[in-house]
Structures are given as C-alpha cells and as structure tokens.
C-alpha cells in the first residue's frame, strides 16, 4: 500500500482512499478525492512539505498529511 | 441617502479578487478591522447606472464554507446571519479561469445559502494562452447563474458586471445540490426537528464541529442538537464534496474545452528553479538581502530629508511665532512628534512594495514551501522569515508585514519576537558603547569591536528564535495546525494594486499607530522641558553665576545640561538610580534610558545634552571623550567593560521603542500584548544586564 509520502519527485499516482479523519476537508475540496490523479512536483529538503498537482490544482502539504492519502502508483519518471 | 446595493466579493485566494475590488471602487475604499478581531475589512463604494450605488465588501479569501482559519470563519458567520448589516443582497463569486473546477466548489456552496450569486470568471484574458474555451450560455444554464468574464487589469467585463449587480433580483436563488441525497435518513430527521430552519444552513453550522471550531448556536436559534460523531460528520462532508464535484464536472464537460497542447506557460520551469533545494534557497536569500539593503540603506536618503525638513520647520516655527510656551509646544513637541511618525514612512512603503510584489507574483507561497520545515519547529510560519529579516532594519514595518501570515498563533508569535532582532536604531547606541569599552585588538584578523557587533546581531536573532520556541510551548490555541497551501500561478503584479497596498499600509500606520506615538512623544517632551522648583526655573542665572569669570565656557550647553538634570525626566532618572545601580549605571544613564523610550537612538543625543557637549562638528567623538572621562565621586570610571557590556545587553533585549508598542497595539487590536511585551522584554534585559555586570565587575 502506497501513500503520497512514498512517491518520489516526478511520480504520478491515482488517489484511492482519503477516509482518514485527520485529512482536512479543505484538502478534499481542493480536489484530493478518490479517482483523481496526483503528481509530485517537488519535495522540500529534510522531509519538508511536498508540492503536488492534483488535476491542475497545485498544492503543498506536509508529509504528515501526505502519509494519510492512499494511492495506486502508476508511473515512475 | 439613496439605498445602496450590498455586494460581497467572495472567492478563493489568488483569484484576483482584490484587483477586481480595486477596479470597482478605485481609491473609494477604506480598510479597517472587523470588530474584536484582526482580520482586515475592505469596503468601498462603486457607482452603478442611474445614480444607484453599490457598497462592495471584499471578504477575506476563502476556499469553502468549511472554515480552517479566523478569516474563513468570519465569512461563514456573515453569510449565515441575515441580520448582519453587511449581509449581502448579492454575492459575486470571483474565480480563476485556470482553476475553474476547484473554484466552483465555493460557488455551489454560496448558492446553496440561497443568496443571489453572480459568477465572475476572472483572468479570462489568459484563456487563449492556456488553450481554454468556454461556452458561457451553456455554463449559465448548467450552473443556473449569470456569468461575467473579467480580467485582472479591469479591461474586461466591468460594465457587464455592474449591470448584473443592478439587476440582481433576476438572479436565480435555487440551491445547486439536494442535501437529502447525501444521507436521506439524517437530513430528513434534521429538517423535521427544525422545521423553521434552512436545512443547508443547519448543516453548515453543525459540520463546523469537524472544522475550525464550534459555532455559537444560540444566535441561530439552534438549541443543543445531538449531532453525529466527528468521523461521521467527516464522512458526510466527503460525500457532499463528491456530490458537488459531480455537478461541476458535468457542467464543465458541456461548457469547457481545454486543449492543453495549446497551453503555454513558464510555471513548470520557474517552479523547478524557485523551489529547488539549492537554488531555491539561494534565490530566496538574495531576495532577502535585497529587501534588507533597500530598507536599511535606500530609505536612509528620504529619511534624512524628512529629518532635516522637520528640524527646519521646527526652527522656522520658532522664528515666526511669538516666543512662549505654546510656540515651544508646537515646535519642539508637536512638530518633532509628527516628524517622528513621518520618518518611518519610507521604510514602511519600501517594505510593502516588496511584500505586495512577492504576494502578487505568487512567490510568497514558494517561500512557505521552502521555509515551513525550519520555521515550524519554533511555532513560526514559513512567511515569518520576511518580518524577522526586515526587523533587522526596523521592527515597525516588519510587524505590519505579519498581516500576511494566516494562522493567528504563528502571526502573534512573529509579532512578539520580532523586536528582539537588532534594528537600525540600536546601531548608534551599540557603536558608541563598543568604541568606548571594547579594547582594540583582533581575533583571527577580525577586530574585537567588529566581533562584538556581530555577536549582538546574532544574539538578537537567537533570542527571537528562542523566545518563539518558548511561546510556542506556552500559547494555547484551538486552531489545528495543518498546512494545505495553494501554489498559485505566477503572475505579473499590477502596479495599481501594489500602489494601493502601499498607500493603505502607510495610511493605517500614520493614522492609527501615529496618534499613540505623537501622544507619547509630547508627554516625553513636556517631562524633559519642564521641572519643578527654583533650580529648574532659574537655570540661566544659576549657571551664569556659577561660571562667572571662567573663559571658554559654552554657557548655552551648560544651561541645557542643568535644565535636563532638574527637569521631571531628570528627577525620574535620578529616582530610578537605586534600581539601575546594580546594572552599573548612574543617574545620567538613567535619564538616557527613559528618553530613549521615544526611540533608541535618542540615547546618544540625551547623553550629548547631559554632558553638555554643545554643538560641535564631531559630536560623536566629543561624547565619547566626555563619556570615557566620566567618573563617580570616588574617582572610578562610569563606563567600564562591565557597565558597557551590561548596557549593550540591556539595549539588545529591552523594548525601548514606543513606536513598536503602538504598532503592536494596532496589529493585535489590544493593549494586552504590547504591555506584556514591554514588561517581559524589560525584565529579561534587566536580569541579563544585572548578571553580566555582577560577573564582569
């Protein structure tokens, strides 16, 4: 089982499950929903925030939150 | 007065909502605070046709009706309360053409509140570069609203938007989704329990339990209602969000075509460099250096001009007005006091030119991305870096710059610790004392004096970070800390928007903090210019008599020195001597400590007066000489290494700046924080100075 935190820079994945109670509703409303594609654009050093693109919405989230978003990895770059 | 149409501008951050507000209202706007909290309230008047006017309220940027900050909470409370005087007749949702899908989530939520809602699709002038085409009639039908295409510079759609506002009564108020489809049993029981309440409003109030914080239910006539558990609420919220996206996706499928092969953009390239783990930090560091250079160095040119202009104005006033108490009050108290406010304008203006450019271009979000990991440890935001660095020039614009930090706790901590950084007003004090007590010599090729100065800078920064760490542990907050920040598109800033920001910031400083600064400087002036009894009033004759027969005596400066010693401030300085004695200071330094409350650099000027240096060309060296020859009655020197270090440390930590206190009062909207800051910083300064003097002596 992969989460967004396991993805490397450039990886793309499909979001599978976001039902964790600790995922803020704001993230869901920004398009982080099952079935959508997520791509990792950049990762800040020392496990800083992760910069992702979900269906055209560009976001930075902390790795703590990224670990809660379960994905299916589809493509390595 | 004719009735005005009340319009609320609502939209996600970074959609150019404020640009649209500026286009609609021009300079016909005012920026204030919402009562009780420190969220900026922007409102303005817009002329429509046939003498009809609209009152436009630019609500804080919000992503949804599920609040995650004070700003968003405020939007919800306003939109749920029909009795609020700002409750809109019509809402204009401002969206970004490139992020239409996500922006429409908020649109459907506002529409569900049954407020007439116009959809403004902003930045429509960029559609062709992004390969986007829209079928407006179809979208209007699918979303059941009026749609206006607008542009950030105001060249597109403004008249159509105004027409739409005039005719707001024709806009549909039909909700966009049917809540009961999400969980029939739950929503049916909810509406049968509260038959008189609107179902969606009920749901918004209840679901806030899972968000930012509970809402006050009494005002909405909802008594205790056994709600679901947080996890069940979250599940419903997720279903609701999916429902909204289904509606939006089906509308966009019919009305929007995106041909990404036609899209051109520099976003990917810029992001690769600006968020890079080496170049990203390097570039940010260069930007900080530039900001620092500009407010530290360039501002000194207009600041010197202002300084000279006000000094000239004061002496001119003394010439043309009849001599007397009133003239002195005007020339030395009021004009000098106003000069003390105006002098900050160049720094504030320069800093806000930079900050608004960094915000408008979208670069500030990249700063948060880069700095979050480092700053979060100390309870600060990635955005705190800019205030902390600019605090090295002056704490006043720096504290005003914290407005851009969304999280209140992070913002408060930044405000509280910024005055520890070594501002430029400390420099004259540091330089003269270092020159006086730090011996010549060098370590690894760097002189002891330069090393001391460098250590004072590091000490200030270290203390700021350390106290942030402590405050982070102490301050309680009900805000959950999570970071979901949008990384907006890069945009070219619009000059008009930058200028309006700079103008508004400067105006609010002059009007709000300015009156406190003026009041305190007049009080300080009165205390320093008047004194009780014969010794003060007969200063001239006493000194003239005392020095009768002496040659080469500068009587004027002797009189000034005598007057200051016997003024009210002199008396206070003397009476605090027992308190400051353990720090190694005499009453003369005590007077300097009190007068420098107006601004730290005044310390040097006060010492010049009290040592009756008089007007020579080289004031600095002359003060240094008189300071080094200053002795106690037993012949021991006043300025030793011990008392010098103690004084340096006192100035490093003490809150010796009324203007900063005035700005903190303005920014936190309460006297509580500036007073705490004053007491705690002075206490730290006192203890540190005490320990260092006792050890070194």
pLDDT digits (tens, 9 = 90+) for A16-40: 999 888 888 889 989 999 999 999 9
Q: Does A61 touch chain B (CB under 8 A)?
A: yes
Asked whether the beta carbons of residue B275 and residue A42 sit closer than 8 angstroms, the reply is: yes
Measured CA to CA in angstroms, residue B410 lies from B421, B579, B656 at distances of: 17, 36, 24
- Contact assignment for B68 to A24 by CB distance below 8 Å: yes
CATH number for domain A2-75, candidates 3.40.50.1100, 2.40.30.10, 2.30.30.90, 3.30.70.2740: 2.30.30.90
Nearest to B65 by CA among B206, B248, B164, B273: B206
Rounded CA separation B47/B148 (Å): 18
Given a cut of 50, the residues of chain B with pLDDT beneath it are 1, 218-221, 223
Which are the contacts of B502, defined by CB distance < 8 A and separation ≥ 6? Answer: B349, B352, B353, B356
Q: What is the CA radius of gyration of chain A?
A: 11
In angstroms, rounded to a whole number, what is the distance separating the alpha carbons of residues B121 and B119?
6
Closest chain A residue to B260 measured between Cα atoms?
A56
Residues of A in contact with B68 (CB under 8 A): 24-26
User: Smallest Cβ distance to B485: which of A31, A59, A64?
Assistant: A59
Every domain of chain A and the residues it spans: 2-75
Concatenated DSSP letters of B525-587: HHHHH--SHHHHHTHHHHHHHHTTT-SS--HHHHHHHHHHHHSHHHHHHHHTHHHHGGGT--H
Residue B622's Cα: distance from chain center in Å? 40
| CB-nearest partner of A62 from B272, B480, B482 | B482
Question: For residue B139, what pLDDT is reported?
Answer: 94
**Inter-chain CB proximity A28 and B368 less than 8 Å:** no
CA distance to partner chain A, nearest, from residue B278 (Å):
9
| Structure tokens, B28 | 């016909």
> Which chain B residues are Cβ-neighbours of A56 within 8 angstroms?
98-99, 101-102
Chain A residues with CB inside 8 Å of B482's CB?
24, 62, 64-65
Nearest neighbour of B237 by CB, restricted to A25, A46, A59: A25
- Best A31, A33, A36, A42 residue to mutate vs chain B (most B CBs within 10 Å): A42
**Distance from the B494 Cα atom to the nearest Cα atom in chain A, whole angstroms:** 23
Contact by Cβ (8 Å): B681, B419: yes
Which residue on chain B is closest to A31 by alpha carbon? B102
How many residue pairs from chains A and B have C-beta atoms closer than 8 A?
108
Closest Cα to residue B560, out of B520, B608, B627? Answer: B608
Inter-chain CB proximity B372 and A26 less than 8 Å: no
Q: Residue with structure tokens 């749609």?
A: B147
Nearest C-alpha neighbor of A69 from the set A54, A56, A48: A54
- Residue B58 burial (CB count, 10 A): 25
**Cβ(B306)–Cβ(B346) below 8 Å:** yes
0.90 cut: is pTM over it?
no
| Cα–Cα separations (whole angstroms), residue B355 to B66, B300, B359 | 29, 19, 6
Whole-angstrom Cα distance, residue B680 to residue B653? 10
Q: For the sheet with A50-54, list strands across it.
A: A2-3, A70-75, A12-17, A37-43, A50-54, A57-61, B484-486
Nearest CA to B203 out of B188, B218, B190, B216 is that of B190
Interface test with A, best of B103, B204, B278, B487 (most A CBs within 10 A): B487
Exposure letters B465-479 (e unless 16+ CB within 10 A, then b): bebbeebbeeeeeee
**pLDDT confidence of residue B215:** 57
Chain A residues within an 8 Å CB radius of B271:
41-42, 51
Look at strands B53-58 and B4-11 and give their pairing: parallel
Smallest CA–CA distance, residue B363 to chain A, in Å, is 13
Rounded distance between C-alpha atoms, residue B661 and residue B679, angstroms: 11
The nearest CA of chain A is from the CA of B461 a distance in Å of 23
Taking the CB of residue B342, how many other CB atoms lie within 10 A of it?
Answer: 17
Closest residue of chain A to B68, computed from CA coordinates? A26
Q: Hey, CA dihedral for B300, B301, B306, B312, is it positive or negative?
A: positive
Whether residue B484 and residue A25 make contact (CB cut-off 8 A), yes or no, is: no
Distance of CA B646 to the CA centre of its chain: 32
Q: Distance between CA atoms of B23 and B9, rounded to whole angstroms? A: 12
* Distance from C-alpha of B12 to C-alpha of A26, rounded to nearest angstrom: 12
The tokens for B562 are 């005598």
User: What pLDDT is attached to residue A41?
Assistant: 93
| A8 in B contact zone (CB under 8 Å) | no
**Contacting residues for B181 by C-beta, under 8 A, at least 6 apart:** B243
Burial call B286-295: b when 16+ CB within 10 Å, e when fewer: ebbeebeebb
CB contacts of B480 in chain A (<8 Å) are 24
Q: Which residues of B651-677 are buried (b: 16+ CB within 10 A; e: fewer)?
A: bbbbbbbbbbbbbbbbbbeeeebbeeb
- With beta carbons less than 8 A apart as the criterion, state whether B513 and B665 touch: yes
Where residue A49 falls among pLDDT bands split at 50, 70, 90?
Answer: very high
Note the pLDDT of residue B180: 82
What whole-number distance in Å separates Cα of residue B419 and Cα of residue B391?
7
Does the distance separating the beta carbons of A25 and B210 come in below 8 Å?
yes
Asked if A28 lies within 8 A of B373 by C-beta distance, the reply is: no
- Give B238's contacts in chain A (Cβ within 8 Å): 18-19, 25, 28, 33
How many residues are listed for chain A in this entry? 77
Query: Cα A29 vs. chain centroid, distance in angstroms?
Result: 14
Residue A60: list chain B partners with CB under 8 A: 365, 368-369, 372, 483-485, 487
A14 close to A36: Cβ distance less than 8 angstroms: yes
On chain B, the residues whose CB falls within 8 A of the CB of A33 are: 238, 241-242, 245
> Bridge-partner residues for B90, per DSSP?
B7
* Mean pLDDT score of chain A: 89
For residues B570 and B539, the answer to whether their CB atoms sit within 8 Å is no
Which of B370, B386, B381 is closest to B421 using CA atoms? B386
**Residue B630 tokens, joined:** 């200053």
* Cβ pair B653, B681 in contact under 8 A: yes
User: Containing H/E element for B106?
Assistant: helix B100-112
For residues A4 and A66, what is the distance between their CA atoms, to the nearest angstrom? 5
Residue B1: per-residue pLDDT: 46
To which CATH superfamily is domain B4-170 assigned?
A: P-loop containing nucleotide triphosphate hydrolases (3.40.50.300)
User: Which residues of chain A have a CB within 8 Å of the CB of B272?
Assistant: 42
**A10/B contact by beta carbon, under 8 A:** no
Contact at CB, B241 and A55, closer than 8 angstroms: no
Can you give the pLDDT at residue B484? 83
Dihedrals φ, ψ of B544, to 5°?
Answer: -60, -40
Q: Name which of B653, B616, B623 is nearest B639 in CA terms.
A: B623
The pLDDT score that the predictor gives to residue B305 is 92
Q: Which residues of chain A are within 8 Å of residue B490 when distances are taken between CB atoms? A: none
- Axis-axis angle for helices B408-417, B658-668 (nearest 10): 170
Q: Which two tokens stand for residue B549?
A: 């027969």
How is chain B split into domains, by residue range?
4-170, 179-260, 501-696
Two tokens, residue B378: 């100390």
Residue B274: predicted pLDDT:
95
Of A18, A26, A56, nearest to B63 by CB-CB distance is A26
**Cβ separation A25–B230 shorter than 8 A:** no
- Nearest of B576, B580, B595 to residue B686 by alpha carbon: B580
């Amino acid at each position: 089982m992969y989460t967004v935190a396991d993805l490397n820079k450039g990886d793309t994945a499909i979001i599978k499950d976001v039902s964790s109670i600790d995922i803020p509703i704001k993230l869901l409303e920004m398009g982080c929903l099952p079935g959508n594609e997520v791509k990792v654009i950049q990762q800040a050093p020392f496990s800083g925030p992760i910069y992702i693109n979900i269906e055209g919405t560009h976001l930075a989230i902390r790795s703590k939150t990224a670990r809660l978003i379960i994905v299916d990895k589809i493509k390595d770059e | 007065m004719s009735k005005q149409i009340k319009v609320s501008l609502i939209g996600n951050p970074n959609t150019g909502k404020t640009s649209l507000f500026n286009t609609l209202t021009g300079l016909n706007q005012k920026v204030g605070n919402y009562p009780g909290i420190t969220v900026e309230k922007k409102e303005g008047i817009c002329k429509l046709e046939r003498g009809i006017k609209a009152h436009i309220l630019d609500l804080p940027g919000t992503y949804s009706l599920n609040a995650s900050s004070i700003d968003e909470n405020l939007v919800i409370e306003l939109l749920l309360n029909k009795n609020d005087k700002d409750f809109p007749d019509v809402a204009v949702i401002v969206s970004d053409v490139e992020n239409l899908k996500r922006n429409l989530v908020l649109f459907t939520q506002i529409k569900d509140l049954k407020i007439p809602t116009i959809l403004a699709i902003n930045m429509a002038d960029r559609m062709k570069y992004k390969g986007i085409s829209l079928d407006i009639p179809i979208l209007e039908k699918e979303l059941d609203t009026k749609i206006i295409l607008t542009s950030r510079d105001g060249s597109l759609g403004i008249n159509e938007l105004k027409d739409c506002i005039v005719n707001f009564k024709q806009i549909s108020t039909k909700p966009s989704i049917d809540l009961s489809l999400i969980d029939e049993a739950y929503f049916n029981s909810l509406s049968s329990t509260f038959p008189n309440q609107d179902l969606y409003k009920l749901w918004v109030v209840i679901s806030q339990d899972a968000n930012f914080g509970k809402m006050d239910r009494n005002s909405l006539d909802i008594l205790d209602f056994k709600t679901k558990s947080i996890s069940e609420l979250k599940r419903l919220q997720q279903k609701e969000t999916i429902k909204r996206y289904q509606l939006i996706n089906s509308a966009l499928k019919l009305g929007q075509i995106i041909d990404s092969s036609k899209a051109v953009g520099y976003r990917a390239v810029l992001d690769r460099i600006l968020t890079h783990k080496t170049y990203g930090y390097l570039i940010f560091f260069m930007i900080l250096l530039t900001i620092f250079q500009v407010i530290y160095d360039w501002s000194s040119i207009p600041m010197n001009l202002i300084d000279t202009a006000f000094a000239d104005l004061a002496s001119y006033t003394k010439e043309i007005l009849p001599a007397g108490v009133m003239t002195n009050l005007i020339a030395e108290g009021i004009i000098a006091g106003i000069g003390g406010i105006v002098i900050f304008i160049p720094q504030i203006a320069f800093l806000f030119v930079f900050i608004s450019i960094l915000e408008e271009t979208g670069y500030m979000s990249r700063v948060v991305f880069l700095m979050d990991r480092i700053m979060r440890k100390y309870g600060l935001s990635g955005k705190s870096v800019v205030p902390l660095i600019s605090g090295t020039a002056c704490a006043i614009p720096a504290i005003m710059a914290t407005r851009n930090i969304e999280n209140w706790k992070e913002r408060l901590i930044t405000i509280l610790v910024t005055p520890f950084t070594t501002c430029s007003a400390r420099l004259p004090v540091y330089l003269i004392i270092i020159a006086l007590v730090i011996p010549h010599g060098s370590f690894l090729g760097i002189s002891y004096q330069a090393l001391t100065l460098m250590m004072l800078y590091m000490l200030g920064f270290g203390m700021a970070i350390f106290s942030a760490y402590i405050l982070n542990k102490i301050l309680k907050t009900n805000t959950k800390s999570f970071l979901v920040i949008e990384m907006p598109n890069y945009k070219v800033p619009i000059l008009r928007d930058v200028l309006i920001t700079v103008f508004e910031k400067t105006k609010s400083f002059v009007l709000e903090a300015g009156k406190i600064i003026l009041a305190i400087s007049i009080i300080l002036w009165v205390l320093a210019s008047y004194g009780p009894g014969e010794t003060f009033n007969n200063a001239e004759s006493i000194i003239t008599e005392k020095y009768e027969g002496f040659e080469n005596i500068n009587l004027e400066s002797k009189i000034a020195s005598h007057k200051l010693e016997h003024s009210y401030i002199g008396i206070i300085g003397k009476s605090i001597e027992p308190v400051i004695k353990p720090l190694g200071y005499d009453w003369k330094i005590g007077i300097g400590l009190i007068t420098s409350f107006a601004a730290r650099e005044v310390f040097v000027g006060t010492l010049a007066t009290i040592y009756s240096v008089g007007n020579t060309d080289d004031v600095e060296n002359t003060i240094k000489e008189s300071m080094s020859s200053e002795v106690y009655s037993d012949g021991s020197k006043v300025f030793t290494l011990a008392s010098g270090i103690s004084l340096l440390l006192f100035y490093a930590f003490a809150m010796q700046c009324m203007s900063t206190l005035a700005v903190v009062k303005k920014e936190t909207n309460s006297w509580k924080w500036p007073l705490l800051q004053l007491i705690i910083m002075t206490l730290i300064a006192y203890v540190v100075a005490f320990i260092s003097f006792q050890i070194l002596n």
